[in-house]
Amino acid sequence: MKKKQVVPALLLVLATFGVSYPNGNLCDSRPNLDDTFIDKVDRLFAPWSKGDSPGAAVIVIKDSQILLKKGYGLANLENKKPIEPDTAFLLGSITKQFTAMAIMMLAERGNLRYENPLSKYFPEFPPYARQITIRHLLNHMAGFPEYDELFLESGKLDKDYPRSAKTKPSSFEPTAKDALAILAQVKAPRFAAGEKWEYSNSGYVILAQIVEKVSGQSFSQFLQQNIFTPLGMKRSLLYDETRPKIQNVATSYTLKDGVYKDIDYTPQNAIYGEDNIYTTVEDMYKWDQALYTEKLVKAATLKEAFTAGRLNNGESAEYGFGWNVRKFFGLNTVAHGGSWIGFRTYIVRFPDQHFTVVVLANLAELGVRDFANKISKIYLGDKMTLPVAIQLASEVMLKYVGKYEIAPGFIAEVSLEKNHLWIKTPDGTRWKLLPESEAKFFLEGREEMSLIFNKDEKGNVISIFSSSITARKL
C-alpha cells in the first residue's frame, strides 16, 4: 500500500461470503480440472458476480498449469465492461518485488552492493545516510517517515483524495523525484538503521531512484527492458510523470453509503518504486513462473529475496526483498499485498508446492488477502496443518464474555451462546470462536485468524490479542 492505514486487525474481518452460484465472466478451464474446486472459488466471489459491482480477476497456478483464470464483477460500472484475465489493475505494493528485482539485477551485474550506503548515491541526505544501506531499504529497516505525510505537513499537497478522476487535478502533483527531495530534508530517521522493522513506502521510492542513478535509465525503461520484455509481459507498465496510456484498465471504486464511487485520482499518482506498476493476472503468471527459473537472476541471488532479513539484535523481520516470508498452516509462503486508491491486490506463492494464487481487485472493500488464503485452503488444504477445535467447559468460556476496546470508539463484543463463544466486530459482523486451547481461539472458516485471551496474575481476563493488536477488556 502507499498511504499507511492504521486499522486494528479485528476491523479487517469481513462479512461471510455468499453461497449462491455466480455467473463468472471468463474461465480458462481444462478438462482434467476438479470442478468442485472451481465451484468453491465461484461461491466465494458470488456477491461480486451479479453484474452490478466491481470485483476481481483471479488466477490459480499449480506446477506451471493454470487451474483457474477468471474475472468476477465489472471493470467499469458505467459501461458495464466485465473484468477479464486481460483487464489491467494497479498492483500497489506488489510493485515492491519488481523494484527489489531491479536492485538484485544491478547487484548481480556488479553495479552495486547491498551494503552500499545511501549517501553513496544521494549525498544530499544528512550524515545519517552513511549508516543506511540498500539492504536496510529493501528490508524496511531504514527508519524513514512516509513521504505522503511529509507532503501533507508541508502544506503543498491537496488533502482531498482519493477522489474521482473526473474531478479537477490538484495544482501540485509531486513526482518521484519530488518525493526523494522531501525525504532528503528529513533531519533524523525515526530509528537507527536496523534497530526496528517498519513498513516503508519511502524506502522503495528511494530504491527506484537508485536504480535510475546506477543504470542511467528511467525506472520505467529499466523495467521494460530488463523484466517486462524478456518475460513477455506485454500488458505491464510503470505509470510515472509521463502519464502513459493504459489499455483495458479497470476503474477503482469504494463503497460509500451504499453507492460505489470511483476514486482513481490522487495528486500522488505519478510516484513510483513502492507502487505504480499496472498489469494483468495473465502477466502475473509469467512473473510467477520466471521466479522458478534463472531468466532474470541466478537462483542464489533470488534466494535473498525470499530470505527474511534480520534486525541488529538478530530477530527475524519476516520480510525479504519485496516479499513477506512466513508459514501458512505449516507451509512455506512468500506473499505480498497492495493497496492504493480503490485497487486491492495480493499474491501468495507456496514454492515447495509450486502453487500460486493472485487476486487483483478494483474495490477498496474487497479483502483480497482473505480470498487468496481461502483459495489456497481449497486447493492445498490436505497438505496444511489446520487448527483443531477442542471442548471447553462453559464456565471457562464465560470468563471471556464482555466488551473489548480495539481502538477508541471501536468496540468488539464477545458472547456465549449454546456453549459457543461468538465475537461481534464493530461493523456488526459475527464470528463463531472455536477453542484451540483454553486461551487461544480461531474463527470458524477463518482458521488463520486467531485470538488469544490474556489474563492478569489473578486469572482475570484483561484483553484479547490478535495480529499485534491488543483490545482491552472494558
Q: Tell me the per-residue pLDDT of 150-208, one tens digit each, with 9 for 90 and over.
A: 999 999 898 999 999 999 999 999 999 999 999 999 999 999 999 999 999 999 999 99
User: Is the model's pLDDT at 14 over the cut of 70?
Assistant: no
Residue 450 phi/psi, 5-degree rounding, is: -115, 155
- The number of residues in the chain equals 474
> b/e string for 183-196 if b means 16 or more Cβ within 10 A?
beebeebeebbbeb
Report how far apart, in Å, the C-alpha atoms of 327 and of each of 143, 268, 303, 320, 359 are.
26, 34, 16, 14, 19
Could you tell me the end-to-end alpha-carbon distance of the chain, in angstroms, rounded to an integer? Answer: 33
User: Is the model's pLDDT at 425 over the cut of 90?
Assistant: no
pLDDT computed for residue 428 by the predictor: 85
pLDDT computed for residue 27 by the predictor: 35
To the nearest whole number, what is the mean pLDDT of the chain?
A: 91
The percent of residues in the chain predicted with pLDDT above 90, rounded, is 86
Report how far apart, in Å, the C-alpha atoms of 347 and of each of 193, 323, 360, 370 are.
28, 10, 9, 11
Q: What is the rounded distance in angstroms from the CA atom of residue 389 to the CA atom of residue 92?
A: 37
Domains within the chain, CATH numbers bracketed: 89-383 (3.40.710.10), 394-473 (2.40.128.50)
| pLDDT per residue as tens digits for the range 84-143 | 999 999 999 999 999 999 999 999 999 999 999 999 999 999 999 999 999 999 999 999
CA trace torsion 208, 212, 217, 222 (10° rounding) = -30
The answer for residues whose C-beta is within 8 angstroms of residue 14's C-beta and 6 or more apart is 367, 370, 429
**0.85 surpassed by pTM:** yes
What confidence category does residue 407 fall into, taking pLDDT thresholds of 50, 70 and 90?
confident
User: Is the model's pLDDT at 23 over the cut of 90?
Assistant: no
Q: Which candidate, 298, 262, 311, places its Cα nearest to that of 110?
A: 298
Per-residue HEC secondary structure of the chain comes to CCCCCCCCHHHHCCCCCCCCCCCCCEECCCCCCCHHHHHHHHHHCHHHCCCCCCCEEEEEEECCEEEEEEEECEEECCCCEECCCCCEEECHHHHHHHHHHHHHHHHHCCCCCCCCEHHHCCCCCCHHHHCCEHHHHHCCCCCCCCHHHHHHHHCCCCCCCCECCCCCCCCCCCCHHHHHHHHCCCCCCCCCCCCCCCCCHHHHHHHHHHHHHHHCCCHHHHHHHHHHHHHCCCCCEECCCCCCCCCCECCCEEEECCEEEECCECCCCCCCCCCCEEECHHHHHHHHHHCCCCCCCCHHHHHHHCCCCECCCCCECCECCCCEEEEECCEEEEEEEEEECCEEEEEEEEHHHCEEEEEEECECCCCHHHHHHHHHHHHHHHHCCCCCCCCCCHHHHHCCCEEEEEECCEEEEEEEECCEEEEECCCCCEEEEEECCCCEEEECCEEEEEEEEEECCCCCEEEEEECCEEEEEC
Report how far apart, in Å, the C-alpha atoms of 60 and of each of 56, 83, 159 are.
13, 16, 38
The percent of residues in the chain predicted with pLDDT above 70, rounded, is 92
Least confident of 3-12, 187-196, 402-411: 3-12
pLDDT computed for residue 468 by the predictor: 67
Chain center to CA of 164: 23
Q: What is the rounded distance in angstroms from the CA atom of residue 356 to the CA atom of residue 284?
A: 10
Q: What is the rounded distance in angstroms from the CA atom of residue 301 to the CA atom of residue 291?
A: 11
What confidence category does residue 56 fall into, taking pLDDT thresholds of 50, 70 and 90?
very high
Q: What is the rounded distance in angstroms from the CA atom of residue 350 to the CA atom of residue 304?
A: 16
β-pair partners for 407: 410
Q: Which residue has the cell 477453542?
A: 435
* 450-457 long-range contacts, CB within 8 A, separation 24+: 450/387, 451/423, 453/399, 453/400
107 grid coordinates: 547487484
